[in-house]
């Protein structure tokens, strides 16, 4: 194995029985568990378990974890729910009691783990693949299923929730969906995914146009621990260099389409699965890797209608945020909606949400079944619906391709509110091969000072020349209140610093006529 050789299979009954009150673990582990006790009588235990081997190998991969048992959880009648936690890309698990303190103090156990390819765990990161990481998370659920101090809903079904952001949000959907597939039941009882994805391929390369900065950043983030399989690392670098998402169609190139086919809720939903449990979404409005629309899609298609009524959607200014220079955006970090709903930060909101979902407590926050989206001015817009009912004519939107600066086209004068997704319909004419342009919503007093609402643009791509062809162009989802005296603009740009080097392959023109903006907003 790459980092950790498989230790002798050792039953950890002695160590775990003392630390956790276990009579049996139900899985084999690669190393004995070790326990630490604090002055508050909290017990912290470290260990690893064996999971499925890497493709083409036979040696089990070790997945390492730290389990935090609160002092109040003594077993018998003193039982608590358990919260899973895991890290973002390139990170590692919680190992110190202080990291889990707020959850321990609130009466939750916590299981934090290093995902495959990171921290002390072995193997490579296959980006939440059901056949690999799916087995890892199911093994962890099985490991804690019989802990005598964890509430059981039925034999082998522990009362569990999950928290984490980015890659630590991806495992949550994988775990919940995989437990449904394996058991036919909703074993995972509540999720709190932050800044994560619905469709990984669409996130990294919308319309096949690579988010250059993020492809390179994810590649670099995998280097310290050799996390990525070599072919995936090669593909990310290849895509950033060529401007096209590798799909294996060119001899000698990698096939990222096949690699990422199963890696996210999109595939699980396509198999007919839906989650029927409460979910607290926390997505970044200024996130340029997993934009707001990724969470909106998860809300719409990954949850049942009943689950949406018991869930909360929040969006804050932050996430995977890089400076937006060209086109110019905003630089703001705030979470006004968590403060509005809970009176505190996102962890306060999370604890109130989990108390309701896992303990049956009275509702401590309002806003269930609604969308709460931060604005650039750190306001919070709340709406019951993000359906795109508002249609605003834009007219003709013309720009050069491959070179030039952003151009703003006025859409409507304020006051105006937009909260959710938008798209354009138009008749498109393009000149040049593989023509590309980038579009987003902006606000300002005039075209000269119009600034992207929350940093994001999305690409339009015409691989062959078009002549008056009907097109639909997705725009980044935003939250904004346009005041009187300012206007909402459509910003069109031949280049984007998020998509460095991803402009048109040849000089040309992109012309949109009879353009209409369809948005989730309201006038006045």
Note the pLDDT of residue 32. Answer: 59
Q: Are the beta carbons of 25 and 83 closer than 8 angstroms?
A: no
User: Is residue 179 over pLDDT 80?
Assistant: yes
User: Is residue 20 over pLDDT 70?
Assistant: no
- pLDDT, greater one: 166 or 332: 166
- Domain-located, residue 141: yes
Sign of CA dihedral 174, 130, 263, 269: negative
Note the pLDDT of residue 39. Answer: 62
What average pLDDT does the structure give for the chain? 90
Domain match, 25 and 122 both: yes
pLDDT band, very low/low/confident/very high, at 222 (cuts 50, 70, 90): confident
Q: What angle do CA 208, 211, 212 make, to 5 degrees?
A: 115
Domain match, 143 and 284 both: yes
- The CATH number that applies at residue 57 is 3.40.50.1820
Domain count, the chain: 3
Domain match, 217 and 274 both: no
- Domain-located, residue 3: no
Q: What is the DSSP letter of 102?
A: H
Separation between Cα atoms, residue 499 and residue 205, nearest integer Å = 9
Q: What is the DSSP letter of 120?
A: T
Q: Are the beta carbons of 68 and 78 closer than 8 angstroms?
A: no
- Domain-located, residue 5: no
CA distances from 453 to 87, 111, 324, 353 (A): 29, 38, 11, 29
- Domain-located, residue 462: yes
Note the pLDDT of residue 18. Answer: 33
pLDDT band, very low/low/confident/very high, at 291 (cuts 50, 70, 90): very high
| Chain segment 338-365, per-residue pLDDT in tens | 999 999 999 999 999 999 999 999 999 9
- At residue 296, what are phi and psi to the nearest 5 degrees? -60, -40
For 465, counting Cβ atoms within 10 Å of its Cβ (0-12 exposed, 13-18 middle, 19+ buried), the class is middle
Separation between Cα atoms, residue 522 and residue 481, nearest integer Å = 10
What integer is the mean pLDDT of 255-259?
88
Domain match, 208 and 280 both: no
Q: Which of 172-176, 231-235, 359-363, 364-368 has the lowest mean pLDDT?
A: 231-235
- Domain-located, residue 434: yes
Q: Are the beta carbons of 97 and 177 closer than 8 angstroms?
A: no
Residue ending a domain, choose from 383, 403, 427: 383
Domain match, 169 and 185 both: yes
Q: What is the dihedral of CA 198, 199, 205, 208, to 10 degrees?
A: -140
- The CATH number that applies at residue 448 is 2.60.120
Note the pLDDT of residue 7. Answer: 34
Produce one character per residue of 3-19: b if its CB has 16 or more CB atoms within 10 Å, e if not: ebebeeeeebeebbeeb
Q: What is the percentage of the chain residues whose pLDDT exceeds 90?
A: 73
Question: Smallest Cα–Cα separation from 423: which of 207, 193, 265?
Answer: 207
Q: Which of 142-151, 397-406, 415-424 has the lowest mean pLDDT?
A: 397-406
Q: What is the percentage of the chain residues whose pLDDT exceeds 70?
A: 94
Note the pLDDT of residue 6. Answer: 31
What integer is the mean pLDDT of 441-464?
94
Residue 77: partners with Cβ closer than 8 Å, 6 or more residues away: none
Domain match, 194 and 299 both: yes
Domain match, 250 and 273 both: no
Domain match, 314 and 404 both: no
Q: Are the beta carbons of 69 and 41 closer than 8 angstroms?
A: no
Note the pLDDT of residue 40. Answer: 73
Note the pLDDT of residue 23. Answer: 27
pTM to 2 decimal places: 0.91
User: Is residue 25 over pLDDT 70?
Assistant: no
Residue ending a domain, choose from 213, 235, 258: 258
The beta strands (E) that lie in 213-287 are given as 280-284
Domain match, 56 and 152 both: yes
- Domain-located, residue 1: no
| Chain segment 463-503, per-residue pLDDT in tens | 999 999 999 999 999 999 999 999 999 999 999 988 888 88
Q: Are the beta carbons of 42 and 104 closer than 8 angstroms?
A: yes
Question: Smallest Cα–Cα separation from 240: which of 500, 507, 505, 497?
Answer: 500
Range of the domain at 418: 390-523
Residue ending a domain, choose from 337, 358, 383: 383
Domain match, 379 and 395 both: no
Q: Which of 262-266, 319-323, 442-446 has the lowest mean pLDDT?
A: 319-323
Q: Which of 30-44, 82-96, 255-269, 429-443 has the lowest mean pLDDT?
A: 30-44
Q: What angle do CA 151, 155, 160 make, to 5 degrees?
A: 40
Question: Smallest Cα–Cα separation from 85: which of 152, 171, 149, 13?
Answer: 171
Domain match, 187 and 212 both: no
- Domain-located, residue 6: no
User: Is residue 30 over pLDDT 60?
Assistant: no
Domain match, 355 and 216 both: no
- Domain-located, residue 34: yes
| Chain segment 125-171, per-residue pLDDT in tens | 999 999 999 999 999 999 999 899 999 999 889 999 999 999 999 99
Note the pLDDT of residue 147. Answer: 94
């Amino acid at each position: 194995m790459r980092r950790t050789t498989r230790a002798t299979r050792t039953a950890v009954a002695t160590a775990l029985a003392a630390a956790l009150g276990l009579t049996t673990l139900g899985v084999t582990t690669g190393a004995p568990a070790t326990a630490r006790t604090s002055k508050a009588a909290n017990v912290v235990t470290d260990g690893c378990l064996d999971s499925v081997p890497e493709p083409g190998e036979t040696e089990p991969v070790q997945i390492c974890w730290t389990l935090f048992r609160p002092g109040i959880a003594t077993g018998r009648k003193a039982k608590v729910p358990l919260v899973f936690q895991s890290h973002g890309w390139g990170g590692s698990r919680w190992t110190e009691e202080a990291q889990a303190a707020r959850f321990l103090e609130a009466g939750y156990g916590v299981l934090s783990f290093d995902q495959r390819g990171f921290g002390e765990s072995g193997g490579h990161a296959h980006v939440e693949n059901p056949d690999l990481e799916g087995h890892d998370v199911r093994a962890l659920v099985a490991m804690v299923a019989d802990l005598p101090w964890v509430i059981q809903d039925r034999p082998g079904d522990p009362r569990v929730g999950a928290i984490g952001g980015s890659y630590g949000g991806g495992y949550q959907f994988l775990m919940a969906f995989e437990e449904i597939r394996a058991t036919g039941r909703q074993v995972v009882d509540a999720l709190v995914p932050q800044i994560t994805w619905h469709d990984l391929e669409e996130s990294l390369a919308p319309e096949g146009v690579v988010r250059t900065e993020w492809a390179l950043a994810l590649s670099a983030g995998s280097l310290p621990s050799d996390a990525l399989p070599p072919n995936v690392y090669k593909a990310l670098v290849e895509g950033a260099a060529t401007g096209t998402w590798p799909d294996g169609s060119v001899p000698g190139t990698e096939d990222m389409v096949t690699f990422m086919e199963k890696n996210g809720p999109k595939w699980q939903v396509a198999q007919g699965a839906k989650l029927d449990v409460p979910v607290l979404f926390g997505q970044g409005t200024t996130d340029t890797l997993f934009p707001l629309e990724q969470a909106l899609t998860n809300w719409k298609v990954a949850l049942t209608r009943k689950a949406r009524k018991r869930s909360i959607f929040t969006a804050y200014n932050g996430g995977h945020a890089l400076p937006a220079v060209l086109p110019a955006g905003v630089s703001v970090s705030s979470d006004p909606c968590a403060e509005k709903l809970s009176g505190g930060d996102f962890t306060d909101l999370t604890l109130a949400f989990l108390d309701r979902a896992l303990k049956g407590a009275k509702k401590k926050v309002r806003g269930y079944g609604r969308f709460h989206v931060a604005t650039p001015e750190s306001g919070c817009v709340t709406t019951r619906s993000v359906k795109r009912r508002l249609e605003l004519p834009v007219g003709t939107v013309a720009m050069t391709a491959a070179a030039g600066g952003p151009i703003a086209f006025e859409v409507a004068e304020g006051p105006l509110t937009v909260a959710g997704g938008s798209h354009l319909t138009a008749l498109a004419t393009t000149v040049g091969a593989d023509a590309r342009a980038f579009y987003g919503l902006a606000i300002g007093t005039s075209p000269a000072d119009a600034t992207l609402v929350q940093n994001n643009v999305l690409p339009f791509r015409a691989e062959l020349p078009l002549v008056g062809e009907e097109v639909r162009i997705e725009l980044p989802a935003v939250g904004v209140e346009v005041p009187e005296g300012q206007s909402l603009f459509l910003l069109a740009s031949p280049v984007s610093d998020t998509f460095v080097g991803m402009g048109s392959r040849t000089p040309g023109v992109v012309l949109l006529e009879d353009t209409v903006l369809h948005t989730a907003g309201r006038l006045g």
